[in-house]
Homo-oligomer: A and B are copies of this chain.
Amino acid sequence: MTTADRLVESTRELLWERGYVGTSPKAIQRRAGVGQGSMYHHFAGKAELALAAVRATAEDMRAKADAQLSAPGTAYERISAYLLRERDVLRGCPIGRLTQDPDVVSDPGLRQPLDETFAWLRGRLAEVLAEGRARGELAEDLDVTTTAATLVAVLQGGYVLARSAESVEPFQHAVRGVLGLLAAQRRDVSDEERA
């Protein structure tokens, strides 16, 4: 990894752990094993490093979600797999975390990747739900747009509950709860329709 890459990686970790206000250039340098002058040679400052870090993290998050959501299976199976996939719950979401930082959301450049990521995720989930509905797997009157927003919110809120409890339990409950509600929207697909 190049020096610049190590700086971005360190910044990603620190933004996840401590947020934007809680992350200092000095801490980034220390973690990356890079000196002061070196950092300022590659990046103009904290804000520029944060932007590179946030963009990389956002892209990662989209790629991971798409892997689950574009897999084979019914809509319910794919959404279930996405919600239940292994997560480092107590660390929270590296993107969602930043929405709490006023210095991030007040900076259009920094907020944009957050907005795009969640907008994409809601859209992708809505597509999966719409596919399931079109195939007769899900109730005809299911509102895919609002339900997609609910699914993303359950994950993000689940992290909040888990961190307050210092336990993954409330996260798992929240996920299982919404999956239970979604399961009630499933419909039987006849053999002829499947063909």
Contacts and interface: CB of A to CB of B under 8 A. Distances in A.
Contacts of A97: 100
Given A22-B102, A100-B92, A164-B99, A170 B149 contact: yes
B157 A102 contact: no
A157 B115 CA distance: 14
Contacts of A115: 164-166
**How many A residues touch the partner, as a band?**
35 or more
Interface of A: 17-19, 21-22, 92, 95-97, 99-103, 105, 111, 114-115, 117-119, 122, 139, 142-143, 145-158, 160-161, 163-166, 170-171, 173-178, 180-182, 184-185
Q: Which 7 residue pairs are nearest across A and B when measured between Cβ atoms?
A: A153-B157, A150-B177, A157-B157, A156-B157, A146-B177, A149-B173, A153-B174
